[in-house]
Amino acid sequence: MTPLATLSPAEAFLAAHGYAEARAETLPQDAGHRRYTRLSGGPRPALLMDCTDAPKVGLTPEEDLLPFLRIARHIEAIGLSAPAILAEAVPHGLALVEDLGPATHSALLDAGTDPAPLYVEAAEALAALHAAPPPAGLPLWEVGRMTATAGATFLDWWWPAAFGAAASAEVRGEFEGAMTAMLAPFAGAGGFVHRDYFPANLIRLEGRDGARRTGIIDFQDAALGHPAYDLVSLLEDARRDVRPDVRDAAASAYFAARPGLNVEEFDAARAAMAAQRHLRVASLWVRLDRRDGKPHYLRHGPRCWDLLAQALHHPATAPLARFLDAHVPAALRQNPAKDAAA
């Protein structure tokens, strides 16, 4: 047997909790930095969550892991389904969590499952998540941060790739003013926002009922903001098309579960949140291509630009629409040509 002193922190952590001989399957890594390993043959099926690459995004492993632990426990405490925390080694950025299984909504949709029940279930779970008081200590997902994150992809990556030059200070100022004017009417909602509530982060749990049937993962970046943002993430998915009838059924289920909402005001917020999200994510695919060598994400660009165009029809998005009309001709609202920045 290998002495614990010679094991890596992850190996020692697994050994200490009975997983030294577990079979390990590394799960595909998405656009993020966290790594997950499926473990079988240990005390119970589990996932190893590894945040040791957090310095790549300017965090310590401990800073990266703690929000996950706090929010997982919050979701469980309000009666919804998140992975149970089995063990943690916070200084090393490691945790053992319950394996909710492989039946993500995205996998089920890809296999041909009827989308309507999945999206309705997801919307009902989302309504319950939003209806509960949020946990303490969440960062803000409000005007300033939403504007900055959109600028960090649109101005810093899409703009020079499309125009062959950096955005000027004047353009940056106009963009910030437009985003602020669009988002400010919906500030102060102060609700829980998952920020990535879409099928890849939802798991159908056949043995559970009601809102608990939808397992929720990848919530560590949750914040305080307008809940319409999550409904946009679900129903205007950057990575897959959602049929209009499915979108309408899920939205109806969400509003039925939250009868106190003003639907007209919420829909205006949805349009503004959609415009910010689709512009930011359409430009994120460019960053993943140019900086990270992941060109396959560009295939989602046309969908994001189409969704942005739809959002810009709503009066609530007029400030951003005017900015784009002044600076970005409609013909350029797409993935930049590869030689544009040459």
The residue ranges of every structural domain in the chain are: 4-98, 105-332
What's the pLDDT at 3?
A: 54
Contact 142, 272 (CB under 8 A): no
What's the pLDDT at 57?
A: 87
What's the pLDDT at 342?
A: 38
Fold of domain 4-98? Phosphorylase Kinase; domain 1 (3.30.200)
Alpha-carbon distance 144 to 204, whole Å?
Answer: 35
Q: In this structure, what token pair is assigned to residue 192?
A: 């829980």
What's the pLDDT at 149?
A: 98
Fold of domain 105-332? Aminoglycoside 3'-phosphotransferase; Chain: A, domain 2 (3.90.1200)
β-strands 191-193, 85-89: how paired?
Answer: unpaired
What's the pLDDT at 341?
A: 45
Residue ranges, the chain, pLDDT below 70: 1-5, 29-32, 339-342
Alpha-helical segments (H) within the chain: 9-16, 61-77, 105-110, 115-131, 143-153, 159-163, 169-183, 228-235, 244-257, 263-290, 301-311, 318-327
What's the pLDDT at 31?
A: 59
Contact 119, 249 (CB under 8 A): yes
H or E element at residue 35? strand 35-40
CATH fold match for the domains 4-98 and 105-332: no
